């Protein structure tokens, strides 16, 4: 199949490109490179010994997207393009709604024009907000509590409405928990600019000596050590989940909603300890005030993904730390190396 991967030069997108290529799909990548690097795709080509068709465009540009669809017979779209930081979304809600919501509307409009109705959406566990019960199931109440989560929830609701109006669409809504880790080659991984918004790259940069200290946002949550608890999932497990979802939705028109997580929650201090053990480096930290938009505990019930997709998270916390550390020690300046 010819698969368009929006945001394919980004962290999750680039790892998923590898899985798609290795499954004999042809990929076309569109990315505006606002928070990614073309070098990631050059390395995807090196890992897979293949060529990637790349367009530096924005999905909000309908004319550019029409050009891509007219030049390639696109069978399906995996949509990663979007902004993804909770705290940043609180500070810049206009940017988040424009990029994440309007961008998806524009993309779907062009897909419909070209008769392409196979769509996998990169959603998020943030649509659940502060969960009323744990572990989180797909039918848990939806109550996004920050602009990032609400932008994802708005798109999910739009896609449900789209299917109601035209039930020939084949759609998957994949609600990620917290992606971490890197490809086993150490050639691609996550390297955010400046101070990371996500925990694992923040810890890793401190261990690497790129940052002096890790700021932990709150130690007064109702958790075993007072710090926030999250479900961390290896990015390659997450990438395989997209391939499984693609295979599943192609069988019949549907809107498939699936949590992709491990079902295990680790606190911030658990993560610090695990990374120190793996890297052999100390990770100094200080406790600061909570961040607006954060929730105390969030971890998945992955049983539906197990049953519906035959998908299981295979990497443990040690793997996540080892692969992150390998990537960063081989690329201490990210893709600038």
DSSP state of 290: P
**Annotation marks residue 148 as catalytic:** yes
Residues facing residue 174 across a β-bridge? 122, 258
Distances (CA, A) of 74 to 105, 170, 189: 18, 14, 27
The b-or-e profile of 71-96 (16+ CB within 10 A means b, else e) is ebebbbbbbbbbbbbbebbbeeeeeb
Residue at token pair 């998270």: 313
Q: Which residues pair with 258 in a beta bridge?
A: 174
Alpha-carbon gap, residue 252 to 231, rounded angstroms: 31
Report residue 45 CA to chain centroid gap.
21
The pair of structure tokens assigned to 147 is 């602009």
The secondary structure of residue 137, as a DSSP letter, is P
Active-site entry in 11, 55, 148, 221:
148
The region that residue 20 occupies, defined by phi over 0 for left and psi between -120 and 50 for alpha, beta otherwise, is alpha
Q: How far apart are CA 315 and CA 178, in angstroms?
A: 13
Tokens of 136: 């989180």
Q: What is the 3-state secondary structure (H, E, C) of 206-241?
A: HHHCCCCCEEEECCCCCCCCCCCEECEEEHHHHHHH
Q: Tell me how crowded residue 248 is: count the other CB atoms within 10 A of its CB.
A: 19
Terminal-to-terminal C-alpha distance of the chain = 33
Catalytic residue set: 148
């Amino acid at each position: 199949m010819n698969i368009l991967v929006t945001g394919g030069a980004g962290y999750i997108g680039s790892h998923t490109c590898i899985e798609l290529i290795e499954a004999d799909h042809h990929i076309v990548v569109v990315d505006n490179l606002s928070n990614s690097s073309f070098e990631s795709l050059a390395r995807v080509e090196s890992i897979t010994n293949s060529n990637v068709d790349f367009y530096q465009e924005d999905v909000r540009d309908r004319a550019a997207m029409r050009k891509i669809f007219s030049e390639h017979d696109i069978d399906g779209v995996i949509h990663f393009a979007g902004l993804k930081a909770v705290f940043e979304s609180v500070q810049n809600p206009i940017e988040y709604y424009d990029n994440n919501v309007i961008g998806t509307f524009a993309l779907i409009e062009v897909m419909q024009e070209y008769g392409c109705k196979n769509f996998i959406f990169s959603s998020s566990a943030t649509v659940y907000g502060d969960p009323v019960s744990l572990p989180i199931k797909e039918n848990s109440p939806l109550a996004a509590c920050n602009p990032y989560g609400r932008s994802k929830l708005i798109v999910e609701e739009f896609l449900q409405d789209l299917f109601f109006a035209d039930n020939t669409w084949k759609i998957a809504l994949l609600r990620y928990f917290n992606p971490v880790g890197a490809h086993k080659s150490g050639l691609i991984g996550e390297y955010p600019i400046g101070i990371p918004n996500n925990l694992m790259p923040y810890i890793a940069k401190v261990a690497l000596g790129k940052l002096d200290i890790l700021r932990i946002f709150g130690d007064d949550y109702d958790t075993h050590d007072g710090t926030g608890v999250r479900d961390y999932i290896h990015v390659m497990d997450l990438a395989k989940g997209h391939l499984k979802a693609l295979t599943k939705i192609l069988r019949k028109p549907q809107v498939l909603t699936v949590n992709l997580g491990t079902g295990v929650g680790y606190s911030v201090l658990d993560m610090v300890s695990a990374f120190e053990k793996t890297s052999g480096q100390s990770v100094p930290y200080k406790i600061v005030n909570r961040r607006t938009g954060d929730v105390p505990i969030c971890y998945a019930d992955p049983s539906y993904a197990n049953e519906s997709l035959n998908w299981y998270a295979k990497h443990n916390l040690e793997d996540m730390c080892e692969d992150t550390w390998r990537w960063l020690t081989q690329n201490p300046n990210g893709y600038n190396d």
